[in-house]
Amino acid sequence: MKTTIDPIVWNCAKDNDLMIKFIDLFCGTGGFRIGVEMICHQYNIYSQCVFSSDIDIDSQKIYTANFGETPAGDITKINEKARRCGHSAII
């Protein structure tokens, strides 16, 4: 199945004017983040994960090895200021 993308979005992507900032909640080891980054790269859309969170310590260690950043821990214990990070999508 071939995916189509809106021509307006495509023109922005070609000009590198489009950027998606996202937060990765319950991120695990980062598999979904890799998928998002691959799709964005395919369509020449800049992407930036501005916040990630997972409660599992072992998942955090793997995520850190994969991306060079450690996810925040328990989302219920993170203060509101830390959660406001200028994202356009929650994953």
Please compute the mean of the pLDDT values over residues 80-87 and round it to a whole number: 59
62-69 long-range contacts, Cβ below 8 Å, gap at least 24? 62/29, 62/30, 63/27, 63/28, 63/29, 63/30, 66/29, 66/30, 66/34, 67/30, 67/33
SS3 21: strand
pLDDT for 15 equals: 54
pTM of the model: 0.70
Distance CA 90, CA 2 (A): 25
- pLDDT for 21 beyond 70: yes
30-82 pLDDT tens trace: 999 999 999 999 999 999 998 899 999 999 999 999 999 999 999 888 876 55
Q: 22: which strand partners? A: 49, 89
Domains of the chain from N-terminus onward: 21-90 (3.40.50.150)
